[in-house]
Amino acid sequence: MASGNLAWLNRLAIVLALPVVGGSATTDALGLPAPPRFAATPTWYEGVVLAATVLVAVLSYRPARKLLSRRRLMNASFTPLHLVNTYGAFGSVGRERYEVVIEGTDEPEVRCGSSREVTWTLREWPAAETI
């Protein structure tokens, strides 16, 4: 959990997930009040949620099939409304990727159009990946 430059995101995710865990053991351990009892969910709402779940499951068939095939199609959409699509963190590996490069100089003054040569050096980003 404590490795990497973004380890704080792991801790943040754990803190945000604590209220979801629920139960008397969690509330007792954290010293929280017992959660309130809510009214039963309306039947029409359960129907809408179930219908949306079925719709997404049916529309996800083609993207899931593409992801499992030999000719994977990454970062693509399959419906006109872009309701379901494929996402691949490595879908753009091998393509040319652009990144911001910051250069600076130690010269006290830089004038545009000056005939004097200015030395510019690359400024590294903290925690930037090196390729």
Identify the pLDDT of residue 32: 76
| CA 19/CA 36 separation, integer angstroms | 13
The whole-number average pLDDT for the span 67-95 is 69
Identify the pLDDT of residue 91: 55
Query: DSSP labels for 65-77?
Result: HHHHSSS---S-B
Q: What is the pLDDT of residues 25-66, one digit of tens each?
A: 777 777 877 777 888 999 999 999 999 999 989 888 887 887
Integer Rg of the chain from CA: 26
| CA 26/CA 45 separation, integer angstroms | 29
Identify the pLDDT of residue 7: 76
Identify the pLDDT of residue 43: 95
Identify the pLDDT of residue 86: 72
Q: What is the pLDDT of residues 84-124, one digit of tens each?
A: 777 666 555 666 667 778 888 888 888 777 767 888 888 87
The verdict on pTM exceeding 0.75 is: no
